[in-house]
Amino acid sequence: MLRRIPPLRLLMVLGGIFAVVVIFSGIGAHYPHDWLLENALVAVFVPALAFTYRWFPFSRLSYLLMFAFLCLHETGAHWTYAEVPYNEWTRAWFGRSLNEVLGWERNHFDRVVHFLYGLLLAYPIREVFLRVGQVRGFWGYFLPLDLTMSTSMIFELIEWGAAEVFGGDLGEAYLGTQGDVWDAHKDMALASLGALIAMLVTAGINARYKRDFAREFIDSLKVKSTRPLGEEEFARLKHDHDRSR
């Protein structure tokens, strides 16, 4: 069913829906300045997706995964991640709050979204590595995990920097630690877990249907060049440079 939808049409439909989501997210946002901060990276990322479509169209699956994550992000931006009223929603729908069912004591919307950051975005990241970097085998699964972990760390540093710069209620709302000194570490761990699950599932599917999966995986771990690339490489480069002068 998904394959029947032209990629450009799907991108346009998702873009239109997301524009509506952003508008509704901004209307009545609980902390308008925090909403602007939360959408600073979105304002760069989404136009970049549209601008690069001609040169690098993602798969339909990747566009859907990114769309789902961005919609969740806009939900967090409207209320701030620490105040999304999911307990009120589940109590109204099922008669009990989600925290009561799971025994949680804090608002865990931010933790869930960090987990989904890894789970939903690791596959689109893998597309980039495979189609641009032409990585294969083990590296096609490890590098998306690695980049997801590192970008999660970078985002935590951005949050920390923004909190230091703006301070006060705005900094606290953006940081959203809810008094947990290990908040950043747990967020990064959950993002890493989500990406690990995504890559394990992808590897499992490929192992099931790709005939040369094992050979490609093993070949990707073999040493391709026995020549060291430290001071020996620098000496070779300097020698070639001197000869060309």
Instruction: Give per-residue pLDDT as tens, 110-164.
Output: 999 999 999 999 999 999 999 999 999 999 999 999 999 999 999 888 878 877 7
Residue 96 has pLDDT above 80, yes or no: yes
Mean confidence (pLDDT) of the chain: 90
Percent of the chain with pLDDT over 70: 93
78-88 average pLDDT score: 91
Given this model, what pLDDT does residue 45 score?
94
Given this model, what pLDDT does residue 33 score?
86
Q: How confident is the model at residue 172 (pLDDT cuts 50, 70, 90)?
A: low
> What number of other Cβ atoms are within 10 A of residue 34's Cβ?
26
Which has more confidence, 193 or 1? 193
Q: Mean pLDDT: which of 174-183, 188-197, 236-245 is highest?
A: 188-197
Least confident among 4-8, 144-148, 172-176: 172-176
Least confident among 160-169, 185-194, 197-206: 160-169
CB 43 within 8 A of CB 22: no
Angular region, 69: left φ>0, alpha ψ -120 to 50, beta rest: alpha
Name, in order, each residue with C-beta under 8 angstroms of 58's C-beta and a sequence gap of 6 or more: 7, 49, 66, 124, 127
For the chain, give every domain's residue range: 2-244
Q: How confident is the model at residue 245 (pLDDT cuts 50, 70, 90)?
A: confident
Q: Which of 186, 99, 180, 198 is nearest to 144 (CA)?
A: 198
CB 80 within 8 A of CB 34: yes
1-14 average pLDDT score: 83
Given this model, what pLDDT does residue 228 score?
81
- The amino acid at residue 207 is A
Q: Which of 76, 109, 115, 137 is nearest to 198 (CA)?
A: 115
Per-residue HEC secondary structure of the chain comes to CHHHCCHHHHHHHHHHHHHHHHHHHHCCCCCHHHHHHHCCCHHHHHHHHHHCCCCCCCCHHHHHHHHHHHHHHHHHHHHCHHHCCHHHHHHHHHCCCHHHHHCCCCCCHHHHHHHHHHHHHHHHHHHHHHHHHCCCCCHHHHHHHHHHHHHHHHHHHHHHHHHHHHCHHHHHHHHCCCCCCCHHHHHHHHHHHHHHHHHHHHHHHHHHHCCCHHHHHHHHCCCCCCCCCCHHHHHHHHHHHHHHC
Given this model, what pLDDT does residue 111 score?
92
Nearest-Å Rg of the Cα atoms of the chain is 22
50-56 average pLDDT score: 92
Given this model, what pLDDT does residue 179 score?
64
Burial class (CB in 10 A: 0-12, 13-18, 19+), 157: exposed
Residue 174 has pLDDT above 70, yes or no: no
Residue 41 has pLDDT above 70, yes or no: yes
Q: How confident is the model at residue 236 (pLDDT cuts 50, 70, 90)?
A: confident
Q: How confident is the model at residue 85 (pLDDT cuts 50, 70, 90)?
A: very high
- The CA distances from residue 72 to 67, 115, 207, in Å, are 9, 12, 31
161-182 average pLDDT score: 67
Model pTM score:
0.88
